[in-house]
Structure 1
């Protein structure tokens, strides 16, 4: 868990952020025809295994929060935000 009060994450989001940090290397990336790489989304099989190895049990709410982080990260990685 994040311990600093000023860590920049609201307390209700800490679990989702920590779950994302545990699996943030599990992206599916593809090459586009016009050259740049494109982030498609998280590889859910890799995410499942990563969460299991990190001993994080995803509840439906945590999974939803993780997907919201994925949407924002994908947009940022693809230059859409």
Structure 2
């Protein structure tokens, strides 16, 4: 039950973020430093916006769940 609640919370945060970002041009995203070569129109996302106060978030892609986790050494691990 707890895992289900955390997943719903993460999905809710992600949905809110996607809705907000869909109306923001990439050049207006806070925290953006410099565009990567050839990728000036790619949005930059701070992982903290996805995981919130936690250390992981479930991402849904084509009906499949993927777990994005921040490790103790602040590395990112994406698993299916």
Q: Give the structure with the larger strand fraction.
A: 2
The higher-RCO structure (CA 8 Å, 6+ apart) is: 1
Output the TM-score relative to the length of structure 1. 0.34
Q: Give the structure with the larger helix fraction.
A: 1
